[in-house]
Amino acid sequence: MSSKKSIVVIGNGMVGHKYLELLVQKLEQSGQRNDYELITFCEEPRVAYDRVHLSAYFSGTSADELSLVEEGFYEKHGITLHLNDKAVAIDREAKVVQSAQGKQVAYDKLVLATGSYPFVPPVEGAEREDCFVYRTIEDLEAITEAGSRSRVGAVVGGGLLGLEAAKALKDMGLKTHVVEFAPRLMTVQVDDGGGRMLRKMIEELGVEVHTGKNTQCIEQGESCKHVMRFADGESLETDVILFSAGIRPRDELARACELEVGPRGGIVIDNSCLTTDKSIYAIGECALWDGKIFGLVAPGYDMARVAVDHLLESENEFAGADMSTKLKLMGVDVASIGDAQGATQGSKSCVYVDERQRIYKKLVISEDDKRLLGAVLVGDAEDYGNLLQMMLNDIELPEHPEALILPSLDGMAKPALGVDALPATAQICSCNNVSKGDLASAIEGGCMTVGDLKSCTAAATSCGGCAALVKDVLNAELKARGVEVNNHICEHFEYSRQELEHMVRVEKIRSFEDLLGKHGNGRGCDICKPAVASILATTWNEHVIEPHLAQLQDTNDYFMANMQKDGTYSVVPRVPGGEITAEKLIVLGEVAKKFGLYTKITGGQRIDLFGARVEQLPLIWKELVDAGFESGHAYGKAVRTVKSCVGSTWCRYGVQDSVGMAILMEERYRGIRSPHKLKFAVSGCTRECAEAQVKDVGVIATENGWNLYVAGNGGMKPRHADLFATDLDDETLIKYVDRFLMFYIRTADRLQRTARWLENLEGGLDYLKEVVIEDKLGIGEELEAQMQMLVDTYECEWKKTIENPEKLKRFRHFVNSESNDSNVVFVQERGQIRPATEDEREELKEKAA
């Protein structure tokens, strides 16, 4: 027998895993790792995953991506993991855990992190087929399967999780109902007024809300699979039912071995997270502290920290948790802070309601008017961070606290709570327990960006609710340290891209030299030159390789092709909307064959031809242009592709001609230069086969027209596009897209895609809508006119180039020789060429010699 201490953790959920992570980290740091044996039982078929973001599974996040466990973590740290094995009994006397698969594991200390299970009300028929709960990946898999063959879905429970589940049903295209026992939604977090507003907004999204409904039984339905019968005699037909009527702690093991549990369940723990047996801890949602269960992950993580510290004999106590929350439910911002219901003796409330804009905000203020006790925000939760900090840090309220929630009208600044007012102990990120002081020392240690802070302190990496505040702290701290936060484009111009764009337009500047002479210094560089070239292009739209512009272009724009790793180029002709005739396909094939190019279908629904030497580009393009192809601008910061699905022309579900619209858009916006590349897609129905919701501009057909989405992104940091406007006719759609694009082109930073631009745009999506839809700045027509100018002056860059012998001169590898670059060597692979590796190149050279 080893003298190692054995620590057994039952439950490998969010909190159980956090416990092991923290423990291993501390043990390794203090060199005690070898004194301990770590073992965990995981009932589920996979290690811990991010249950908080479970719903992301429906929008395509895979189980792997949801995983919280770093690849190989358990192996690397020597933790024994019993996957798919449930602990079934605890012998406290012998200190042994018994598992379903028959394992017997002895422990010195046991940690119960068994979480909770969804409560299913005792309704007759609740066990029928296609009735589900919403807690695990397996649940979601089953729901997806049932959803795909159903029309109607109902969620029992109108709380936080219920509404999240309703969104999932809605997104699957089901007619969705929410059935709530109480007279309003989200009884725990919001008050009557907030609940009413929330209901209105959710109903506007097409979800039917039924409150005050007590489900009595579920039976065989007529038009649907089931009928739900309510106590008031009414009924509802539905195919799928999701129960989301609250959670119950999983304390069955604890009960069986006679640990103390609460009257309504939950394993009783003290401030050290110890149960009534001093060798057994309980943490997370299964634990009952001071008569309370905490159904959020942050308090669970806190318990994990406390339990680790207690085991290692360092001081720490669990002191309860703030249950404030902020979330987006079906696109509606909802936040609840502290005493949201105004339950405190003598408290007063202060309410702002705007039924037009669908905003409800309430402050709960202490009897003496000095302190904020709680708040409810529906429809606009921007004030959440500020208000939460005020409450948590007991900051004295301003004289007119109502100003905190009133809209800021022109000239009336909001009494914003500067982050400077916060004490260093203020907790900024509750998920990861990061205080303002922690952020400050990370900044002292060299963090300069929110990204740095995320990787150094883990702040803002879980629910993301604190991201805005983290940024504020960063900016304030940098400022306090005298670090100038500037957006100058580079050392040659003390201006942002937006400012340069403005100067070029207003002062009618047409060349880089002119701009540099008037507003810059030095010679310029590879940062400012292409940026200015792009600005000049959107303002004057001259041919990219006019001599005064050619010198500014990155090699890709200069040779109008994408440089590959070996110095050769790729050729990507435009295939608008991805639609191509057989003739044109044959031409592509023949050109590729003739010039020995590697061909590949791209992710953008077109064909890429690789391995062209610079001197071959004009010859290749001559043939392509003759066959009617145009430049695809794969090389430019410009419109790349407008992906389409086949749409109503062929597809049995299509409701509009998505291919037609995609071609119209691609031909309208081709060639325009912008701060970064632009990608579009048009889908013919909500099945969304063109993936429009990850595009800069996404269009999805509806029965009545088009829904427009903006600022989506795939790539390095994916972002789901925002729904911008619905049911547009063709003309309005184009008008909005014109304005949106031009406004982006004018105001974005260099190499800032629309997703990042919108995230940084002051006022966000609402402001963008005001500018584009309501024309608040009065520049709508001007933006459209500028776009129209670009559309009218479009010319195919390659066509123009091959017609001009002067310009063609530049397409050669050597100015003084007809030879090719001897370093470009290809080998064959799967029937096509590919660049030789360095070793292969050497080998071939030797052979030749």
Ligand X SMILES: Cc1cc2nc3c(=O)[nH]c(=O)nc-3n(C[C@H](O)[C@H](O)[C@H](O)COP(=O)(O)OP(=O)(O)OC[C@H]3O[C@@H](n4cnc5c(N)ncnc54)[C@H](O)[C@@H]3O)c2cc1C
Binding residues for another protein restricted to 542-601, rule: CB under 8 A: 547, 550-556, 558-559, 563, 565-567
Task: List the single partner that 606 binds among ligand FES, another protein, ligand SRM, none, CB under 5 to 8 Å by kind.
Answer: ligand SRM
Pairing of strands 359-365, 325-329: unpaired
- Whole-number Å distance between alpha carbons of 342 and 378: 16
**Given the complex with ligand X, which of 14 and 772 has the nearer CB atom?**
14
Q: E strands along 705-812, which residues?
A: 705-710, 722-728
Task: Identify the CA nearest to 51 among candidates 18, 2, 4, 86.
Answer: 18
The H-or-E segment that residue 503 falls in is helix 497-506
Smallest separation, CB 713 to ligand SRM (Å): 5
DSSP-derived letter for residue 623 is H
**Given the complex with ligand SRM, which of 336 and 644 has the nearer CB atom?**
644
For 208-277, the DSSP string reads EEE-S--EEEEEE-SSSSEEEEETTS-EEEESEEEE-S-EEE--HHHHHTT--B-TTS-EEE-TTSB-SS
Q: Does 441 bind another protein (CB under 8 A)?
A: no
Binding flags for ligand SRM, 549-588, as an x/- string (CB under 6 A): -------------x-x-----x-x----------------
Smallest separation, CB 65 to ligand SRM (Å): 16
Contact 474, 439 (CB under 8 A): yes
Smallest separation, CB 467 to another protein (Å): 30
Contact 789, 541 (CB under 8 A): yes
**Of positions 9, 273, 334, 460, contacts ligand FES by CB under 6 A:** 460
Smallest separation, CB 127 to ligand X (Å): 20
Contact 676, 753 (CB under 8 A): yes
Copy the structure tokens of residue 203: 């109903």
Binding residues for ligand FES restricted to 470-499, rule: CB under 6 A: none
Q: Does 529 bind another protein (CB under 8 A)?
A: yes
Binding flags for ligand SRM, 607-646, as an x/- string (CB under 6 A): -x-------------------------x-----xx-----
Segment interacting with ligand FES (CB under 6 A) among 252-260, 449-457, 464-472, 538-546: 464-472
Contact 41, 87 (CB under 8 A): yes
Q: Does 604 bind another protein (CB under 8 A)?
A: no
Smallest separation, CB 845 to another protein (Å): 13
**Given the complex with another protein, which of 543 and 720 has the nearer CB atom?**
543
- Whole-number Å distance between alpha carbons of 607 and 821: 26
Smallest separation, CB 509 to another protein (Å): 17
Task: List the single partner that 462 binds among another protein, ligand FES, ligand X, none, CB under 5 to 8 Å by kind.
Answer: ligand FES
Contact 11, 115 (CB under 8 A): yes
Segment interacting with ligand SRM (CB under 6 A) among 167-175, 596-604, 701-709, 730-738: 596-604
Segment interacting with ligand FES (CB under 6 A) among 274-282, 463-471, 742-750, 794-802: 463-471
Q: Write phi, then psi, for 610 (nearest 5 degrees).
A: -110, 155
Task: List the single partner that 300 binds among another protein, ligand SRM, ligand X, none, CB under 5 to 8 Å by kind.
Answer: ligand X
Segment interacting with another protein (CB under 8 A) among 306-314, 434-442, 754-762, 810-818: 810-818
Q: Does 823 bind another protein (CB under 8 A)?
A: yes
**Of positions 603, 653, 776, 795, contacts ligand SRM by CB under 6 A:** 603
Residue corresponding to tokens 């039952």: 10
Q: Does 464 bind ligand FES (CB under 6 A)?
A: yes
- The CA-based angle 843-846-847, given to 5 degrees, is 85
How far does the chain reach from its first CA to its final CA, in angstroms? Answer: 68
Task: Identify the CA nearest to 253 among candidates 10, 42, 7.
Answer: 10
Segment interacting with ligand FES (CB under 6 A) among 85-93, 107-115, 457-465, 655-663: 457-465
Copy the structure tokens of residue 541: 């739209």
Q: Does 430 bind ligand FES (CB under 6 A)?
A: yes
Contact 374, 351 (CB under 8 A): no
Q: Does 337 bind ligand FES (CB under 6 A)?
A: no
Copy the structure tokens of residue 316: 């720490």
> How many residues of this chain bind ligand SRM (CB under 6 A)?
20
Segment interacting with ligand FES (CB under 6 A) among 18-26, 179-187, 430-438, 702-710: 430-438
**Of positions 372, 459, 536, 734, contacts ligand FES by CB under 6 A:** 459
For 101-131, the DSSP string reads TS-EEE-SEEEE---EEE-----BTTTSTTE
Burial class (CB in 10 A: 0-12, 13-18, 19+), 50: middle
**Given the complex with ligand FES, which of 389 and 631 has the nearer CB atom?**
389
Contacts of 330 (CB under 8 A, 6+ apart): 163, 166, 167, 170, 201, 202, 205, 207
Binding site for ligand X (CB under 6 A): 10-16, 41-44, 51-52, 54-55, 86-87, 113-115, 134-135, 161, 164, 250, 253, 284-285, 295-298, 300, 327, 463
Other C-beta atoms lying within 10 Å of the C-beta of residue 147? 22
Rounded CA Rg of the chain: 31
**Given the complex with ligand X, which of 292 and 505 has the nearer CB atom?**
292
Binding site for ligand SRM (CB under 6 A): 562, 564, 570, 572, 600, 602-604, 606, 608, 634, 640-641, 677, 679, 713-716, 753
Binding site for another protein (CB under 8 A): 491-492, 522-526, 528-530, 547, 550-556, 558-559, 563, 565-567, 614, 809-810, 813-817, 819, 821, 823, 838
Binding site for ligand FES (CB under 6 A): 429-432, 459-466
